[in-house]
């Protein structure tokens, strides 16, 4: 039973435009959410996070939005660059669980020059 | 700053052989996680440790899989005997989990091929 879902396996965007990656979760006890980026032959690297007390967190070109009522998370990349082409995983965690994360299945982003 | 170090990076072995994957977490981190990545199931959590103690091994697929963390700086994931369906990329991650949620930091993985 997947508690974190990424329903789009892939996304293709033109360089300079906005990329929007989506993630849904089912467990209302989750209170910490993250996005990871993964290049081929490398491990996932942490990109940005948000706690449930916020609905938006921004870091440069990357913004994460959290809609708790809809149990929905999204990552916006503006403007998109070819170097952003990678697989993006969302993850979620609840309290008092030794930092265990539940990961989505990933969305492969392709930014075309 | 050294990140999470996994070895070997690639392992090719024949069915039935024992396979041992190794992980050195980031110094000071007190939680360690083993994941398996496959096309079908994405990133699956196999087992995780806190302060060297296994907390949850419910993700370990079968008794052929075992993991140990003898000290704070070393962990192993063992498959014995190995089968072709164990072929995947195995990741180790570590984090500091004493003061609330923190990002996990991943190694670059071990690509395992069982022939």
Residue of A31, A41, A98 with shortest CB distance to B31? A98
The pLDDT score that the predictor gives to residue B1 is: 63
CB-CB under 8 Å, B93 with A46: no
Instruction: At B19, give phi and psi (nearest 5°).
Output: -125, 135
Contact A67, A57 (CB under 8 A): no
pLDDT in tens, A76-104: 999 999 999 999 999 999 876 677 899 99
Nearest residue on chain B to A6, alpha-carbon basis = B42
- pLDDT confidence tier of residue B101, bands split at 50, 70 and 90: confident
Written as six digits, the tokens of B28 are 């000071």
pLDDT in tens, B32-54: 999 999 877 789 999 999 999 99
CB-CB under 8 Å, B93 with A105: no
Closest Cα in chain B, distance from residue A22 (Å): 16
The pLDDT score that the predictor gives to residue A1 is: 66
Closest Cα in chain B, distance from residue A43 (Å): 4
CB-CB under 8 Å, B50 with A98: yes
pLDDT in tens, A61-76: 999 999 999 999 999 9
Closest Cα in chain A, distance from residue B97 (Å): 6
Burial class (CB in 10 A: 0-12, 13-18, 19+), B39: exposed
- Interface A–B counts its CB contacts (< 8 A) at 59
Could you tell me how far CA A16 lies from the centroid of its own chain? 19
State the DSSP code for A83: G
Residue of B48, B103, B107 with shortest CB distance to A100? B48
Contact A78, A61 (CB under 8 A): yes
The pLDDT score that the predictor gives to residue B84 is: 96
- Decide if A65 touches B, using CB distance below 8 A: no
- Decide if A34 touches B, using CB distance below 8 A: yes
The sign of the torsion formed by the CA atoms of B90, B96, B97, B101 equals negative
């Amino acid at each position: 039973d997947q508690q974190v879902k990424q329903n789009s396996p892939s996304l293709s965007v033109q360089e300079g435009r906005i990329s929007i990656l989506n993630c849904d979760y089912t467990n209302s006890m989750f209170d910490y959410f993250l996005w990871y980026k993964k290049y081929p032959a490398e491990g996932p690297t942490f990109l940005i996070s948000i706690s449930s007390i916020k609905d938006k967190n921004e870091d440069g070109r990357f913004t994460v939005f959290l809609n708790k009522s809809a149990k929905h998370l999204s990552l916006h990349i503006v403007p998109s660059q070819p170097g952003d082409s990678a697989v993006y995983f969302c993850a979620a965690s609840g309290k008092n669980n030794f930092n265990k994360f539940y990961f989505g299945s990933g969305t492969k982003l392709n930014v075309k020059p | 700053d050294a990140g999470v170090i996994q070895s070997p990076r690639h392992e090719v072995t024949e069915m039935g052989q024992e396979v041992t994957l190794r992980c050195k977490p980031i110094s000071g981190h007190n939680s360690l996680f083993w994941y398996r990545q496959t096309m079908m199931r994405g990133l699956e959590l196999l087992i995780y440790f806190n302060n060297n103690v296994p907390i949850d091994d419910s993700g370990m697929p079968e008794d052929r899989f075992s993991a140990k963390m003898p000290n704070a700086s070393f962990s192993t994931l063992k498959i014995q005997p190995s089968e072709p369906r164990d072929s995947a990329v195995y990741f180790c991650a570590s984090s500091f989990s004493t003061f609330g949620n923190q990002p996990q930091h991943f190694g670059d993985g071990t690509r395992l091929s069982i022939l």
